[in-house]
Structure 1
Amino acid sequence: MPHLSSEVPVIDLALLSNGNKMELLKLDVACKEWGFFQIVNHGIQKELLQKMKDASSEFFKLPIEEKNKYAMASNDVQGYGQAYVVSEEQTLDWSDALCLIIYPTQYRKLQFWPKTPEGFKEIIVTYASEVKRVGKELISSLSVIMGMQKHVFLELHKESLQALRLNYYPPCNTPEQVLGLSPHSDTSTITLLMQDDDVIGLEIRHQGGWVPVTPLSDALVVNVGDVFEIWSNGKYKSVEHRAVTNKNKRRISCAFFLCPQDDAEVEPLDHLIDAQNPKLYQKVRYEDYLRQSLKRKMEGKTHMEVARI
């Protein structure tokens, strides 16, 4: 459904942070009807975005022997390789990835942080800190549209888990036969994605079809994660999305997952449950929810079954 690409909502973070009523209303509609939006005026320097893209590109160009020095262990989610691989017969996605936990800092496993290109670690830390700031701004606004004080959601993300996933999608001669990333929803509260400006790859499920998200220069794409869907008792949807490949161009994207702390108990908020809106999800401990989902291959929203009543 490419004709709907231009309708993917665009939110101005500067207006949102100032409590602009119209922008808050746009955010509410975006989370309810799309589960996805792009943000502009987020304050992250254009140079930093470019540095992050360039350094990621340099890393993925390295010889496989070099990248394998940071290979993901079978019982871990950090490192180079593909997560969500649960069987030898599984068809793998047409992509390469590097996953790192950034916050809390004591969870960082620096043996998986590439030493090439030079200065990559510093670029990652600077970028992550800026995206964390933007994420917190958004979480404050999400608190407001759910009828609560700004600080309520931030309290649940004080020691939150924040992970970075760098994705590399090489060109493919038969793009119609593969997917860069299988359809799935995210287990996060929200996800913030930086993608290349000049190549379309991200598609989101909307009204039963797939809508490509056309990149806006220097914008970030934000999507609602499962945690936010559960807290809102299904009012806001974590939407399935996928990445497609193409014949001519490689594509890089950089996803930053903002999640509640491990021991947070996630369940629908009391004030969103009444006779017309019965409780749709049971209480889940976030760490357990995450572990359960990592044991399955990516298949749409099937991993949410553990939380559904």
Structure 2
Amino acid sequence: MDLKVENGCIKEDKGLGWGKSLPVQSVQEIVRNGYLSVPERYIQEIKDRPSSISSESLQASLQIPIIDFSLLAKGDEHETRKLDLACKEWGFFQIRNHGVQVKILQKMKAAMAAFFELPLMEKKKFAMGANDLEGYGQAYVVSEEQKLDWCDLVALKTLPLEQRNLNFWPLNLPGFKEAVEEYSIEVQKVAEEINANLSILMGMERDGLKRYQGELKQLMRMNYYPPCSSPELVVGVSPHSDGGSLTVLLQDDDIIGLQIKHKGEWIPVKPIPNALVVNIGDAIEIMSNGVYKSIEHRAITNEKKARISAAAFAYVDDELEIGPLDSMVDDPHRPPMYKKIKYIDYIRQVLARKMDGKAHTDLVKIQT
């Protein structure tokens, strides 16, 4: 096994993992150092800038569905229908009454804020490895020429416990490990309940998806979006869909940053205090044979305030072959629309290129 020295600490090169991202300068440090103008690599091409979003009247009329999770978990038919519609037409929804205590949400936000407030050299002790996307840095940086996102992040495999690599965890930061552990367990319960409801909607028993894909694993991506003097020139995260099964997002209650693409328009997702945002990932789109949609989304920045969020990605086992489920295929009315592919091959394909909307799901679609 090769050992590499990065940022003053030794990192093991464990060979081929999910992928890798080239190291680039911390955006937070650019801001801390009092930059006068946005560096050229962060200025997006005109077509990719967030300055053009939907009109205020359209924004007001188009809001992602809101689901009462407590009723959904009790089998309420109305909430189940709302879930079905949300997954078909939006790919996104917010959930209230999800059972995660407010103090757990607050501790998670405080833990993230404390990490990103550490001095740069402290954060670099947890830098991504040479062949891994776990740790502190930036993701999807695959060339020296591409435009960069206005965001720093730390990504940690949180569940199952045996997959954690504590070398990337700031164990000396008081309360960080406990807050992330507590939140990750609670939010996984949310993902599992939604998975069970999707199983029923997809023509199976409650444990249908669990039997097919096994216990969902979890990766937590914690994002820090610094304020930007020219937010109309940059993006916090480029347009993309998520490669996993489900994503559960915890975001700031008072800052709008997330936007989703709905019927060709960018629609801002207005935060609801203490709610969680859930979206369908590519794996569910493939398994549902395209009935449920993983939707293109992005994050924007603002001029005055930093924004923090935590995306918990629920994903399947690397070796699982994913493809349209039998219950979602109806020849000749709805033939298979996606090829079967081993999940590790799919996710490596996703992570080997810069974020580019829905380009990676197009690669596994069966051309007709």
Counterpart of 1:242 in 2: which secondary structure? strand
Compute the displacement of 1:278 (Å): 2.0
Counterpart of 1:210 in 2: which secondary structure? strand
Consecutive unaligned residues in structure 1, runs of 5 or more: none
CA deviations on 1:23-44 (whole Å, 9 max, x unpaired) are 1100000000100000011100
The 10-residue stretch of structure 1 (218-227 or 54-63) with the greater mean CA deviation from structure 2: 54-63
Compute the displacement of 1:249 (Å): 0.9
Q: What is the identity percentage for the equivalent residue pairs of Structure 1 and Structure 2?
A: 52
Structure 2 counterpart of 1:164, one-letter code:
M
2:342 aligns to what? 285
Aligned mates of 1:256, 1:73 — CA distance in 2: 21
Counterpart of 1:7 in 2: which secondary structure? coil
Which residue of 222, 231, 237 corresponds with 2:287?
231
Counterparts of residues 259-270 of structure 1 (less than 5 Å):
259-270=315-326
2:268 aligns to what? 212
Structure 2 counterpart of 1:86, one-letter code:
V
2:332 aligns to what? 275
Which residue of 169, 183, 188 corresponds with 1:113?
169
CA deviations on 1:113-161 (whole Å, 9 max, x unpaired) are 0135312011111110001111101100011111211001122443433
Structure 2 counterpart of 1:4, one-letter code:
Q
Structure 2 counterpart of 1:216, one-letter code:
I
Structure 2 counterpart of 1:192, one-letter code:
V
Alignment partner of 1:88 is 2:135: no
Aligned mates of 2:67, 2:216 — CA distance in 1: 24
- What's the Cα RMSD here? 1.2
Task: Tell me if the contact between 1:161 and 1:262 (Cα under 8 Å) persists in the aligned partners.
Answer: no
Aligned mates of 1:262, 1:8 — CA distance in 2: 31
Alignment partner of 1:127 is 2:127: no
Compute the displacement of 1:182 (Å): 0.3
Which residue of 181, 194, 198 corresponds with 1:138?
194
Aligned mates of 2:147, 2:173 — CA distance in 1: 31
Aligned mates of 1:215, 1:152 — CA distance in 2: 32
Which residue of 1, 5, 12 corresponds with 2:68?
12
TM-score, length of structure 2 as denominator length:
0.82
Aligned mates of 1:103, 1:54 — CA distance in 2: 21
Structure 2 counterpart of 1:111, one-letter code:
N
Counterpart of 2:238 in 1: which secondary structure? strand
Aligned mates of 2:212, 2:266 — CA distance in 1: 33
In our comparison, the structure showing a higher alpha carbon Rg is 2
Counterparts of residues 1-309 of structure 1 (less than 5 Å):
1=54, 2=56, 3-4=58-59, 7-273=63-329, 274-309=331-366
The 10-residue stretch of structure 1 (286-295 or 204-213) with the greater mean CA deviation from structure 2: 286-295
Structure 2 counterpart of 1:98, one-letter code:
V
CA deviations on 1:157-192 (whole Å, 9 max, x unpaired) are 434331000000010000010000000000011100
Aligned mates of 2:244, 2:295 — CA distance in 1: 12
Task: Tell me if the contact between 2:63 and 2:269 (Cα under 8 Å) persists in the aligned partners.
Answer: no
CA deviations on 1:45-69 (whole Å, 9 max, x unpaired) are 0011011101101111111111111
Aligned mates of 1:251, 1:97 — CA distance in 2: 12
Count of residues in Structure 1 that have an aligned counterpart in Structure 2: 309
Compute the displacement of 1:263 (Å): 1.5
